[in-house]
Amino acid sequence: MTWSVVHTIANTTGYVDDFMVYFMDTHLPSLPGFTTGPGGDAFERTVKLTCNDIKGGTSSSYTWWSWGSATGLSYQYENDTYTTTPGDNGDLNSSNSLGFINTATATSGSWRIWESDERADGVLVTKGSKGMLFWPGVGSGKWNLINHNAWLAGDQNSNTCIGMATNQYNGIPFANNPVGSATSSAEYQVVPSYNRVSTNNSVESTRYLYTGVGYDFSARSLNNGLGGATGHPALPGGSSDQAVLAPPSVLATEPTLQLSNLSLIQDSVGGNYYFMLGSDLNYMALCLEVGSTEPDLS
């Protein structure tokens, strides 16, 4: 099973506006669980993501995005305070950033939106040969967010807020529980995991691809690179088109997820191509299968 391109926007500039308007108003709300709404002006949108949770019900995460008409930057924030309804645009403050898109290294490439044929809510965005945005999807599984704390209008949300991965930070960003609190501006990362414990591949003599990875909460700030995975699961595994590359003779606590270092690699056994979301073949990294034909990244 693979990730494949479902929409392309030709763009010879580094501006994000055309892409963001289409993505927020048309594509994202077409995916299961996503609801988008207006922000405070034409260059802002609110995003609500609702998934089944391990407690037997559903729970939601609330973010908002902001960009400009002639800029290569688009920012993602926690929507931590509401006026009438959770996730509304009554108080869109920028006190808690959850990463941002920067097209400075891909000004001339086309925007491409990729989807997984295993998880209908998964989405990857590239511009030229650079990764911009990623959400692994939950599919028919259940995520493990803390959303039982009281959240009243005008108060900051202390429940888990999880956003989409962007090319300016490592990992999938989250704020508040289970690591931070509502009064903290610290952001953390959700990282790939395939065994819930520190990984030791030092006994192997070659590289392996382990499929079906899930994602764990990390106890360190997301802009510090690798953090220590707590073993507390966040997003379910099981998808065969999401894998971890484990090189020989390496000791690491968890694989990287770095959109800014997206590279194309090929499986020497099966022949399929993968996007490796890491900067070095000597370290573990998340990989996404993109099929048996070399993809167009122009």
Tokens of 247: 């090189």
Q: Quickly state the pLDDT bin for 17 (edges 50, 70, 90).
A: very high
Q: Mean pLDDT over residues 262-289, rounded?
A: 90
What residue type is 281 in one-letter code?
Answer: L
CA 39 to the chain's CA centroid: 21
What is the C-alpha to C-alpha distance for residues 266 and 27, in angstroms, rounded to an integer? 29
- CA-based torsion, 23, 189, 98, 90: positive or negative: positive
What is the C-alpha to C-alpha distance for residues 139 and 244, in angstroms, rounded to an integer? 19
Interval 46-92: pLDDT, tens: 999 999 999 999 999 999 999 998 899 999 999 999 999 999 999 99
What is the C-alpha to C-alpha distance for residues 11 and 108, in angstroms, rounded to an integer? 6
For 273, what's the count of Cα atoms within 13 Å in the CB-facing half-sphere? 14
For 186, what's the count of Cα atoms within 13 Å in the CB-facing half-sphere? 15
Interval 236-245: pLDDT, tens: 998 999 998 8
Interval 166-216: pLDDT, tens: 998 888 999 988 877 776 677 888 888 865 444 555 555 677 888 888 998
Considering the entire predicted model, what is its pTM?
0.93
Alpha-helical runs (H) found in the chain = 17-22
CA 168 to the chain's CA centroid: 11
Give the burial string for 46-68 (b: 16+ CB within 10 Å, else e): bbbbbbbbeeeeebbbbbbbbbe
Interval 106-153: pLDDT, tens: 888 999 999 999 999 999 999 999 999 999 999 999 999 988 889 999
